[in-house]
Amino acid sequence: MSVLTNELSQPGQPVSCVPVGGSEASFGLPANGRKQRSITRYRPRYIIPMTSHNLTVRTDRSSGWNATQALTPALALKTADFLMYSALTTVAHRPGKTYSWTQNWPYEPLVGNTPTGATFIWTWASFGFVFLAFGVVLFIYEYWLDDADTSLRECILVPARPLTSSQRKIWKYFLLVSALILIQILVGSIMAHMYYDRSSFYGFDVNRYIPFSFMRDVHIQAPIVWIGLSWIGAALFLSPVIAGGEEARGQGWLVDAEISQKGCTSG
């Protein structure tokens, strides 16, 4: 990833995009952005410093850096091109305009990315339209759909009933939820230690067997899975209660089938 190529450009033309009108201002970075970035963009290739190169292709556990393991040299080159062009589209001006292809988003004054007038107009217009729609819905409900409830109110406790077939099998959901929570905590603990010392985990070289990027993905995605499973399990348990102790025919084995599918997906 030490060389960022520009397959679309020709020698002597900017890296940011293919010229349209011939003027640098029509497709180049804002002047203050060029000054801040200090990147010579009139080359088909841009060579990054060797220090930055080493951080991506060499492993230095004492400094906390791991070499990229998921990218081949060819894929790493394409990834570098993608990142370079993606960044340039956020600051390169549209032809004949004073704002970028992403409407100066994200906000970064150092490269001239500040909100445009159209951004303010359409932001507040969107807010106004949303709250107007809320008001219309509430007005229709209040004056045409809402009928006064004059029925007698009586507090009735739901009697305890024997568990149904599906309710007896819900424990498998929460067993899987508990396992995922423990995995998230374990991986998070290892990562917290490795942010300080990536060379070893109390004498055990975890990185030799489990890449740091993989543990980070598990730590981020595990809560998404166990939170969803918790909601599903709670809904399946409460549905027979709401239905007066009854459940659909075959719901018990369907719960087993679903938890098997969820277990395979979680794995």
Question: How far, in Å, CA of 4 to CA of 150, rounded?
Answer: 73
Cβ proximity of 46 and 4 under 8 Å = yes
User: Which phi and psi (to 5°) does residue 28 adopt?
Assistant: -95, 180
How many angstroms separate the CA atoms of 26 and 23, rounded? 5
pLDDT of residue 230: 93
Under a CB-based contact definition with an 8 Å cutoff, are residues 16 and 90 in contact? no
Q: Output the pLDDT for position 45.
A: 63
Q: What is the pLDDT of residue 81?
A: 85
Give me the pLDDT at residue 62, please. 64
Q: What are phi and psi of 84, to 5 degrees?
A: -65, -50
Chain mean position to CA 229? 19
CB 230: neighbour CB atoms within 10 A?
A: 16
What would the 3-class secondary structure string for 152-185 be? CCCCCCCCCCCCCCCHHHCHHHHHHHHHHHHHHH
Which phi and psi angles does 33 have, rounded to 5°? -70, -40
Q: Could you count the other beta carbons within 10 Å of the beta carbon of residue 203?
A: 5
pTM: 0.55
Each residue's pLDDT expressed in tens, for the chain with a length of 267 residues: 334 444 434 433 444 333 333 333 333 444 544 443 334 444 556 666 776 666 666 777 666 666 666 677 788 788 888 888 888 888 888 888 888 989 999 998 988 899 999 999 999 999 999 999 999 999 999 998 888 777 777 777 777 888 888 899 899 899 999 999 999 999 999 999 888 877 778 888 887 788 888 899 999 999 999 999 999 999 989 988 888 888 888 888 888 888 788 777 766
Tokens of 171: 């424990």
